[in-house]
């Protein structure tokens, strides 16, 4: 009897390649980011349809502030517009939004938009969509350590884990990076300790349902050992039920 494929509960994606997608079409980089928003909408819907519980995406890293000022300001405006446009549909689709990252460097308009979007979707439960915005993995570990120390608690793996910006969801099973690059770029450094990685040559605006299914199929071809041996995993799967 064929084994049905396992759908990862939590998929995380580095959405790379918007600028290159635009450049190849002789368009401004911001046109690529706009197309990237459309791709994210499509991907979130596809994840919900396939039974994925959590989708975490890298939208804007703490290092992206070093990009040209017009691109950064354009991205901020795009975020504000996308929020206003997308939230009603996310509501209908049962998607709960979380914005994960440092808020201090953002304008009041953007911060208010993030808070309102989170509040509007707070009761949805079909899919959790974490948008990592002004986020960095090192920032996350540092802020967690600072929070634990401020409470006067011992810094342990468990206490740090509970103070991470993504403590509300389990760690990702699968991390996908589009755009042909093979690096983690300061994304989910703590949470991706035992994630499976898939690197796609597709630029993010071209990442469609078929590409998502390819990544899930690749995930299903892997043996997740979490530090154990293949024999231990096999033995655990075949042990008789206690009775």
**How far is the first Cα of the chain from the last one, in angstroms, to the nearest whole number?**
26
| Residue 61, H or E segment | strand 54-61
Look up 64 and say whether it is catalytic. Answer: yes
Residues 16, 93, 140, 171: which is the catalytic one? 16
**How many other β-carbons are positioned within 10 Å of the β-carbon of residue 95?**
23
DSSP string, 9-48: SEEEEE---HHHHHHHTT--HHHHHHHHHHHHHHHHHHHH
Closest listed residue to residue 80, CA positions, set 117, 124, 128, 120 = 117
Residues 64, 124, 186, 220: which is the catalytic one? 64
* Bridge partners, residue 55, by sequence: 11, 129
**How many other β-carbons are positioned within 10 Å of the β-carbon of residue 67?**
15
Is 175 within 8 Å of 224 (Cβ atoms)? no
Look up 16 and say whether it is catalytic. Answer: yes
What distance in Å separates the CA atoms of residue 180 and residue 116, rounded to the nearest whole number?
35
Active site residues: 16, 64
């Amino acid at each position: 009897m064929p084994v049905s494929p396992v759908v990862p509960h939590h998929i995380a994606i580095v959405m790379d390649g918007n600028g290159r997608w635009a450049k190849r079409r002789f368009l401004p980089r911001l046109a690529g980011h706009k197309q990237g928003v459309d791709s994210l909408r499509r991907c979130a819907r596809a994840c919900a349809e396939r039974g994925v519980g959590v989708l975490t995406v890298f939208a804007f890293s703490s290092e992206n502030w070093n990009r040209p000022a017009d691109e950064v300001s354009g991205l901020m405006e795009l975020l504000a517009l996308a929020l206003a446009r997308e939230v009603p549909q996310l509501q209908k689709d049962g998607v709960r939004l979380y914005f994960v990252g440092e808020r201090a460097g953002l304008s009041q308009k953007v911060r208010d938009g993030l808070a309102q979007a989170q509040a509007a979707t707070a009761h949805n439960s079909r899919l959790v969509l974490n948008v990592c915005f002004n986020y960095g993995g090192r920032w996350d570990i540092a802020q967690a350590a600072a929070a634990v120390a401020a409470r006067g608690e011992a810094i342990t793996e468990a206490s740090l884990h509970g103070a991470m910006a993504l403590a509300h969801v389990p760690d990702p099973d699968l991390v996908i990076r589009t755009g042909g690059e093979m690096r983690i770029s300061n994304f989910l450094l703590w949470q991706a300790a035992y994630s499976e990685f898939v690197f796609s040559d597709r630029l993010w605006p071209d990442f469609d349902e078929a590409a998502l299914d390819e990544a899930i199929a690749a995930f299903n071809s892997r043996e997740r050992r979490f530090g154990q041996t293949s024999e231990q995993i096999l033995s655990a799967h075949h042990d008789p039920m206690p009775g």
